[in-house]
Structures are given as structure tokens and as C-alpha cells.
Amino acid sequence: MERRQFLKIGGLSSVALFSGIPFSSHARSDFKIKKIRYYAAPGYNKPLFNQARGIVEIETDSGLIGIGEGGTPDMVKQCAEMLIGEDPFRIEHLWQYLYRGMFYPPGREKLHGVGAIEMALWDLKGKALNVPVYELLGGKTRNYVECYATGFRKSNASTMEGKAQDCLEAGLRCYRIGPTGGNGDLPFDFYENSKKTIEMCQKLDKAVGGSGNWAIDLHTRFDTTEAIKICDALEELEPYFVEDIIRSENPEVYKTIRNMTKVPIAVGEQFGDRWDSNVLMENHLIDYSRVTLPNTGGISEIKKIIAIGETHYIGIIPHFTGPLSTAALVHVLGSSSPTRCMIELAGGEPEKPSYFNEDFIDFREGKVHLNDRPGLGVIFSPEKASLLFEVTKNTEFTHPYLKSPDGAIHNW
């Protein structure tokens, strides 16, 4: 920590260490956002899927660069054209500007773009102050974050039961499966697949010895009758959680679902900001939130959702998205309240694309560990990706919003 005792960074006036965390002598930096670039993620073949994984670079006039992940090109570009010339250290202020600077509140697709940009702002600020993002978020609350796997690539087993056993032996906390049917299996027979799903869960529970070592995502595929039939059968098996029991358009439906089952309920991978989750949390309708990055709109927003969940004793088990977002989640969960939490790893291990440094995420014995590299600890090689656009000036259109006398942004 001595190396951080006194920092003199171009664009920052006297930054000194106090209790291990650097503070500036004024609320603003002298940095200005100069360029914002968007790259296509190589090898990712769903560029228009609303869980897009483009790479965002935010560059200041000093040459400092922060990186984020997510958002479709049109959404990121719209946001980028509002930020040239702005102070990148004012992360919450810029988030409010992007959120309120249009007449309509951002939908979930735009929130992904906002989340990618906000993630890059945190990375940039951490690099400028030479500290990992988790230090800026309050410091470590845990040394590692437990993981659960959807599938397990390293297993040589030919059965679901064998893959689950290998997963747990590798140190992961939980093995997650989906229901039978779906994914092109048409027509989808609700009755048949509800029965087969119950039988599959019974086999899995027996294979891993119960104890909450497995979970299931019903994937919003079933109507209430079959969904509750499955939940009724799973209660005695005590899964870690049952996810997306019913469709997510109307969160209020979980008032009915909650009264009909005692299984631990997990919901949220299709949700965005805190207002999406409010009804579920305020009414104690779920046990775990599945919200994730960049879907929530960014690091600050998911921290707020976790804090709301803490007041209602709701755990956080984010859905997987992209590799950079997974690294960012380690900073968030590693500095959040000691509520129950896990990170999902598709295939049972972090994805390590060639355009990031090999050691960008510290995964050992089934757990992801915090590292002390500045920012998010990820090095991006832009020459290995495809540049789609670069924004160097703001749009000519005005963005209506109001400011209170103290300078805070309000809706127009």
C-alpha cells in the first residue's frame, strides 16, 4: 500500500492516501472524455441479441483508457454521443444524465449500453487512482466468490449425474440444469416435460447427495399449473434455488407463486435497473436476485439492488453474461454485503477470450478470487477485435433535463 500513499497523476491534483483509499482534493478531475470506441467481440455470433458483448473503450484527453462490455452498437453510440467533453470521474452524475436525458426512460436493451459505458468509467477511474475497482466500492468484504455451473466442460462423464459430480468435486458450489424440452424441441408438450423435469431432478438430487448442491432454471417455459406441479415435487428435494418459475412480464404474479410453493425462488436475469426488481423485493417474493452486468445499467446500479436485497434478506446470484462482465461482478460481489452470493459460470469455468490478458480473472478450485490490479484488472488488445465505430463529438441534438439549484439532474 505504500506505493499508493501519494499519487500524482496527470489531470489530478494532489491525491493522498487516507485509510488505504485515495481521495482527490476536489470533487472533479481535470480529465475530459475525448473518444468512445465500440468493438465487436470476436467469435460472438449474436451481435443483435439483447445480451450483446461488444467492447467499449472510453479514452480521456490524457490518453487514459477504461473498458466496458455490453450493449448493441446503436444503443452505445446514442449514449457515447452525450458524453464527449464530460468529466469521467462523475460516474453517478453521468449515469443519471444517460438515464434521464431522453424523454422516455431507457428500456432494458438501452440499459445494457449504459451498463457497458458505466463499467468503462469505473475501470478508468480505478486505473487513474491506481486501485482495483473493489477498493472504490468500499473495499473487500470477502476473499473470493463461490461459483455455480451451468454445464461442466471439463467433465468426461456422459451423463448429467456424472457431470454434476465432477463439477462439485472441482470445488464449485452448485450444479444448475434447465428443464427438459425446448431449444427447438417442437411442439413443446407442457404436461410431458413437467413430468420428465421432475424425474430428472430426482436423479440429479440422488447423484449429488442433496444438500442444495443443485439448482434448476424453469426458463419461464411453463404455465402456472405445470410450474407449481414441478415446484411441489421439488420441495422435499431442497434445491439451492428454482429459477424463473413463470414468465417475467408481470412481477406481481409472484405474489401468487410465492403463496403456492416453498422452494427457494430466483428471478432477475431478464431484468434491468432497481425499479424492475422493486416489487419482488419489497414484497419478499423471491429468495435470490439474478440481476447481472451490464443488464442492470452498471456497477453502481447492481450495488444498489444488492443493498435493497440485503434489507429484505435476499441473496444475489447473477446470471452469466460476458467475460469482462464476470470480472466486474467479482469486484461488485467481493465488496458487497455478506449476503449469500454466487457467480454463474457457463460450462463451469470463466471464458478467456484471446483479446483479454490470460490472467484477467483469478479462478481457482471452483472459486473466483479478487485481484489487486488497477481498475477491473483486464487488459484489452483492440487489434484482436473489429472496430465498429468511434465517437469524438456529441450529437447535434439537445437532451432535455432539468437541474435543481444544487446541480442535481432531474427529469425534463
Report which of 178, 227, 172, 225 is spatially closest to residue 201, judged by C-alpha positions. Answer: 178
3-class DSSP state for residue 228? helix
For 216-244, write each residue's pLDDT tens digit. 999 999 999 999 999 999 999 999 999 99
Whether 12 and 70 have beta carbons less than 8 Å apart is answered as no
For 246-269, write each residue's pLDDT tens digit. 988 899 999 999 999 999 999 999
pLDDT confidence bin for 102, thresholds 50/70/90 = confident
Rounded CA separation 189/185 (Å)? 9
Rounded CA separation 160/147 (Å)? 18
Region class of 184: left (phi > 0), else alpha (psi between -120 and 50), else beta: left
Expressed in angstroms, the distance from the first to the final Cα of the chain is 45
Whether 41 and 53 have beta carbons less than 8 Å apart is answered as yes
Q: What is the mean pLDDT of the chain?
A: 90
What pLDDT was estimated at residue 177? 97
Rounded CA separation 281/283 (Å)? 5
For 362-399, write each residue's pLDDT tens digit. 999 999 999 999 999 999 999 999 999 999 999 888 77
Could you tell me which residues come within 8 angstroms of residue 313 by beta carbon, excluding any fewer than 6 positions away? 339
Q: Average pLDDT, stretch 178-197?
A: 87
Whether 375 and 122 have beta carbons less than 8 Å apart is answered as yes
Q: Cell for 170?
A: 472441482
Least confident of 68-72, 164-168, 182-186, 397-401: 182-186
What pLDDT was estimated at residue 334? 97
- CA distances, 158 to each of 165, 176, 235, 322, 399 (Å): 12, 16, 28, 27, 56
Could you tell me which residues come within 8 angstroms of residue 231 by beta carbon, excluding any fewer than 6 positions away? 242, 245, 260, 261, 263
Least confident of 41-50, 73-82, 130-139, 212-221: 41-50
- CA distances, 157 to each of 12, 63, 166, 216, 349 (Å): 55, 50, 8, 20, 17
3-class DSSP state for residue 300? helix
Whether 244 and 268 have beta carbons less than 8 Å apart is answered as no
Whether 172 and 147 have beta carbons less than 8 Å apart is answered as yes
Whether 295 and 108 have beta carbons less than 8 Å apart is answered as yes
Rounded CA separation 294/117 (Å)? 9
The length of the chain in residues reads: 412
Q: Cell for 156?
A: 468426461
Alpha helices in 289-344 (DSSP H): 299-311, 323-333
CATH architecture type of domain 136-369:
Alpha-Beta Barrel (3.20)
| Superfamily of chain region 2-130+382-410 | Enolase-like, N-terminal domain (3.30.390.10)
Q: Cell for 3?
A: 506505493
Instruction: Indicate where the chain has its CATH 3.30.390.10 domain(s).
Output: 2-130+382-410
For 294-329, write each residue's pLDDT tens digit. 999 999 999 999 999 999 999 999 999 899 999 999
